[in-house]
A and B are shown apart, each in its own frame.
Chain A
Amino acid sequence: SQTIHQWPATLVQPVGSPLSLECTVEGTSNPNLYWYRQAAGRGLQLLFYSVGIGQISSEVPQNLSASRPQDRQFILSSKKLLLSDSGFYLCAWGGGPYGYTFGSGTRLTVV
């Protein structure tokens, strides 16, 4: 069966520090992968999606970047975190009519 792993679960980082969040999927090949951010009271915002290795589409201009170095690995990064980067980050895979499966999320607090 397909599973999605996301880590770390929580993270507290100082302003200006770098960020790396990792997401991996098991049990499927060439999945569409997604990064979402959920800020307090602002719903879920699509940040990046990827349809294959090295293929990244950005949905909103921001301080973050994404990479897909392997078929089932999706990484969210920042060189210098801002306070506004705080939020709950969710990785997902899937697409089409069969739905999307989400990871358990990373709670990022920038202090």
Chain B
Amino acid sequence: AQSVTQPDIHITVSEGASLELRCNYSYGATPYLFWYVQSPGQGLQLLLKYFSGDTLVQGIKGFEAEFKRSQSSFNLRKPSVHWSDAAEYFCAVGFYGKLTFGQGTILTVHP
């Protein structure tokens, strides 16, 4: 069955530390891939997207993600986390016009 998995429900990092949020998908073909961020009580903001070309994509706020076809993964990374990055992060897959989300990863940043 088609699915999007974010295995980490909650991650805590110290400010200035590096970050990697994991995302795996299960689809017959390579879908469109997205990462969104949601601050409490807010809508969703697109961080970055991938649909073809260079497998390392750059997004807003210093985030990047790498598509690895062999691992069906699209992990989100940031070299140095800021306190303002604390939020919930969603990986999403676009396939035949529909967007399916992972369960989300809550990021807590310690000072």
Contacts and interface: CB of A to CB of B under 8 A. Distances in A.
Interface of A: 6, 32, 34, 42-44, 46, 49, 51, 59, 90, 92, 95-105, 107
Interface in B15-68: 32, 34, 36, 41-46, 49, 51-52
B75 interface: no
Nearest to B51: A97
Contact of A43 (B49, B94, B103): B103
Given A95-B97, A100-B46, 11 more contacts: A34-B98, A34-B99, A43-B102, A44-B101, A46-B99, A51-B97, A95-B94, A95-B99, A100-B92, A102-B44, A104-B43
B42 A32 contact: no
Contacts of B44: 44, 90, 92, 102
Interface residues of B, number: 23
B108 interface: no
Interface of B: 32, 34, 36, 41-46, 49, 51-52, 90, 92, 94, 97-104
B90 A90 contact: no
Contacts of B101: 43-44
A94 B9 CA distance: 27
Contacts of A34: 98-99
B98 A44 contact: no
A39 to B, nearest CB: 12
Interface centre among B45, B100, B102, by most A CB within 10 Å? B100
Greatest chain B CB density within 10 A among A34, A101, A102 is at A102
A103 B104 contact: no
Q: Which of A51, A98, A107 has the most CB of B within 10 A?
A: A98
